[in-house]
């Protein structure tokens, strides 16, 4: 079985995924309204995100799989297809059909989470870099590191590219080296102390590749993807042998018309129900600080391509964006311009490895479209403030209990970074994608 599976995957990856071609997954990704009121599957993946898509694609080689995604498909949305639409996609406010759902934590920090097939890989800054060895050593997980590397390779053959550095990113690279963040490693996907060019999920034509594209390698006869499907609850039942132990036997999801559907697990349930007294506690988010400047000359549009990795636990990255400038209010004495004034904003960002401070998360509603209540408690550990001052930015406010003032010292957090107790390298995207493939392969092997 393994030889046959590997052969299929190696053949599939003889060429890279292309963004311009109509993706194959559209043949089995359907609006949830077309699904039966009840059906049975070997595995149900709730959330077709950065890890969910590679997980489902891998499982489908052997099992019958259902993916439930509350958003739509990214294909055809020009804001998600190229890097120039990056900021626009993050600022759309349609709570039902926009690709990003924004929310503000109780620390007064703006966040965004993906609500589209492919999850946050469809809206993030596209930087790709593998986790550092310390991430695996300190995670408490018994990793099969050979399979980890195979899973990274699987992801990278499909959707990771070497970016072409232009003026701003080249200047950042040179500045990092001049500042002593060396040696220079050139292009590398590995986590290496020094300065390097990382991978990008934007190809040479500027088109984005996202986790949804991994569904192109699924076995079409074994997979279904329901879009605009909101999971309402997980169905639980007691085992006939151990009555006190509950198992997940299926889910109830609702389509955009409000109709309910039951997706059930075949034959056996999944024993995952345990009482956890710390549910919702110990939520982490990596601190990120930054400086934004208005350069005297226009710069090209660029997202993160270069990273400076220090031995002291700080990662330095940069981006340049073109943003419209508008006056804060209209005036009868000032004629509005016929077209918006476009400004180039260059940003240098620094992220602290860790984190040290912890917070909490709790549900505000069982409705998935109502944002959770999140408090990260930035700077509750005094070492966080000291670490930020060491690298980039001004001194902390005297009144550090004032969350509105402290919010100036924490930028938009890395999407999905809070799922790890430490940052897996400079950015989490590579590791989240790898995990989808890794877990799928583990499940397949353990089922033999």
Q: Is residue 191 within 8 Å of 173, Cβ to Cβ?
A: no
Determine if residue 64 is labeled as part of a ligand binding site.
no
- d(C-alpha 72, C-alpha 97), whole Å: 7
Q: Phi-psi bin for 384: left (phi > 0), alpha (psi -120 to 50), beta?
A: alpha
Determine if residue 69 is labeled as part of a ligand binding site.
yes
What CA dihedral angle connects 414, 418, 422 and 424, to 10 degrees?
A: -50
- d(C-alpha 75, C-alpha 210), whole Å: 10
Q: What is the DSSP letter of 205?
A: T
Sheet strands (E) in 189-339:
194-197, 199-200, 223-227, 230-238, 246-254, 260-265, 281-283, 288-293, 306-309, 314-325
Q: Is residue 86 within 8 Å of 319, Cβ to Cβ?
A: no
- d(C-alpha 226, C-alpha 219), whole Å: 16
Residue with tokens 């699924």: 218
Determine if residue 141 is labeled as part of a ligand binding site.
no
- d(C-alpha 299, C-alpha 345), whole Å: 8
- d(C-alpha 318, C-alpha 285), whole Å: 20
What is the model's pLDDT at position 151? 97
Q: Is residue 324 within 8 Å of 340, Cβ to Cβ?
A: yes
What is the model's pLDDT at position 306? 98
Determine if residue 231 is labeled as part of a ligand binding site.
yes
Give the ranges where 116-228 is alpha helix by DSSP (H). 133-137, 145-159, 167-178
3-class secondary structure, 127 = strand
Q: Is residue 400 within 8 Å of 127, Cβ to Cβ?
A: no
Report residue 102: phi and psi, to 5°: -90, 150
Taking residue 60's Cβ as centre, other Cβ atoms within 10 Å add up to 26
- d(C-alpha 77, C-alpha 278), whole Å: 40
3-class secondary structure, 435 = helix
Domains of the chain, residue spans: 2-218+280-326+335-447
In 348-361, which positions are buried (b, 16+ CB within 10 angstroms) versus exposed (e)? bbbbbbbbebbbbb
Closest CA to 53 of 223, 170, 300: 223
Q: Is residue 208 within 8 Å of 342, Cβ to Cβ?
A: no
Instruction: Mention every residue, 6+ apart, whose C-beta is less than 8 A from residue 187.
Output: 162, 196, 197, 198, 199
Provide the whole-model pTM: 0.83
- d(C-alpha 283, C-alpha 3), whole Å: 41
Fold of 2-218+280-326+335-447: FAD/NAD(P)-binding domain (3.50.50)
The enclosing H or E element of 65 equals strand 65-69
Closest CA to 408 of 390, 426, 392: 392
- d(C-alpha 414, C-alpha 348), whole Å: 15
Residue with tokens 């060895």: 133
**Which parts of the chain have pLDDT scores under 50?**
1-19, 332, 389-396, 400, 403-418
Pairing state of beta strands 314-325 and 341-352?
antiparallel
What is the model's pLDDT at position 130? 97
Sheet strands (E) in 47-115:
65-69, 100-104, 110-114
């Amino acid at each position: 079985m393994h030889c046959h599976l590997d052969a299929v995957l190696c053949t599939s990856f003889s060429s890279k995924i292309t963004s311009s071609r109509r993706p194959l997954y559209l043949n089995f990704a359907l609006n949830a309204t077309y699904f039966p009121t009840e059906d049975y599957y070997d595995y149900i993946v709730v959330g077709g995100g950065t890890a969910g898509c590679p997980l489902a694609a891998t499982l489908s080689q052997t099992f019958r799989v259902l993916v439930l995604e509350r958003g739509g498909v990214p294909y055809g949305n020009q804001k998600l297809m190229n890097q120039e639409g990056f900021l626009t996609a993050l600022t759309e406010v349609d709570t039902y059909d926009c690709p990003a759902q924004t929310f503000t934590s109780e620390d007064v920090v703006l966040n965004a989470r993906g609500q589209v097939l492919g999850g946050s890989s469809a809206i993030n800054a596209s930087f790709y870099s593998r986790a550092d060895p310390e991430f695996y050593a300190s995670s408490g997980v018994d990793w099969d590191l050979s399979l980890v590397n195979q899973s990274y390779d699987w992801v990278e053959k499909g959707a990771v590219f070497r970016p072409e550095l232009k003026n701003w990113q080249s200047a950042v690279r040179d500045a990092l080296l001049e500042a002593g963040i060396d040696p220079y490693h050139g292009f590398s996907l590995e986590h290496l102390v020094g300065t390097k060019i990382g991978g990008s999920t934007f190809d040479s034509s500027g088109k984005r590749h996202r986790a949804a594209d991994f569904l192109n390698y699924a076995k079409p006869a074994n997979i279904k993807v329901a879009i605009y499907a909101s999971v309402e609850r997980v169905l639980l039942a007691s085992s006939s042998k151990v009555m006190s132990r509950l198992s997940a036997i299926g889910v109830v999801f609702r389509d955009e018309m409000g109709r309910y559907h039951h997706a059930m697990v075949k034959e056996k349930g999944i024993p995952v129900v345990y009482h956890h007294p710390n549910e919702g506690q110990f939520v982490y988010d990596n601190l990120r600080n930054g400086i934004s400047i208005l350069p005297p000359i226009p710069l090209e549009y660029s997202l993160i391509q270069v990273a400076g990795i220090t031995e002291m636990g700080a990662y330095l990255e940069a981006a340049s964006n073109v943003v419209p400038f508008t006056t804060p209010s209209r005036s009868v004495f000032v004629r509005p311009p016929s077209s918006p004034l476009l400004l180039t904003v260059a940003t240098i960002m620094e992220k602290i490895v860790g984190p040290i401070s912890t917070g909490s998360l709790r549900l505000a509603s069982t409705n998935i479209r109502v944002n959770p209540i999140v408090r990260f408690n930035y700077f509750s550990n005094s070492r966080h403030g000291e670490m930020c001052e060491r690298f980039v930015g001004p001194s902390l406010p005297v009144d550090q209990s004032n969350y509105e003032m402290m919010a100036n010292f924490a930028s938009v957090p890395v999407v999905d970074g809070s799922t790890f107790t430490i940052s897996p390298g400079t950015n989490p995207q590579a590791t989240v994608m790898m995990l989808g493939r890794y877990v799928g392969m583990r499940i397949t092997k353990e089922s033999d």
